[in-house]
């Protein structure tokens, strides 16, 4: 069963702790993306990766970090430097190559930091 998985579905952390969100895909897609979703804000791009071992900052990268050591995996770390980390985080992937092919989204992780 092909698709994108994100885990866990709900995540709770104390303020000041780093936390890593998992994203895995078995679609053989080259490109992967992380978005943050807040009420009324739509989808805001955090980081994206068009190929293994390479990634670029999106519109709101401050306080986040990523790695892309494997084609299938694109974990996102929310660091203690992120001032308002509570949000719904969505991972997506696409075939990649040159341009904006269809993006497929995972089910999301809801992070709550108190």
Angle value at C-alpha 76, between 73 and 77, nearest 5 degrees: 135
88 Cβ partners below 8 Å, 6+ apart?
A: 36, 37, 38, 108, 109, 110, 111
Span of 13-21, 60-68, 71-79, 105-113 interacting with other proteins by CB under 8 A: 105-113
Q: Which of residues 27, 45, 52, 60 is near other proteins by CB under 8 A?
A: 45
64 interacts with other proteins by CB under 8 A:
no
Span of 13-21, 65-73, 75-83, 93-101 interacting with other proteins by CB under 8 A: 93-101
Q: Tell me how many residues contact other proteins (CB under 8 A).
A: 26
60 interacts with other proteins by CB under 8 A:
no
For residue 8, whether the previous peptide bond is cis, meaning omega lies within 30 degrees of 0, is: yes
What are the tokens at 42?
């739509």
């Amino acid at each position: 069963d092909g698709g994108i998985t994100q885990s866990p579905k709900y995540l709770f952390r104390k303020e000041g702790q780093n936390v890593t969100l998992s994203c895995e895909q078995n679609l053989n897609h080259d490109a992967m993306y992380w978005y943050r979703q807040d009420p009324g804000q739509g989808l805001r791009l955090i980081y994206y990766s068009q190929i293994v071992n390479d990634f670029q900052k999106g519109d709101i990268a401050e306080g986040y970090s990523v790695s892309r050591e494997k084609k299938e995996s694109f974990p996102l770390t929310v660091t203690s430097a992120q001032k308002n980390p509570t949000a719904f985080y969505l991972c997506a992937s696409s075939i990649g190559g040159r341009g904006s092919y269809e993006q497929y989204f995972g089910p999301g992780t809801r992070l709550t930091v108190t």
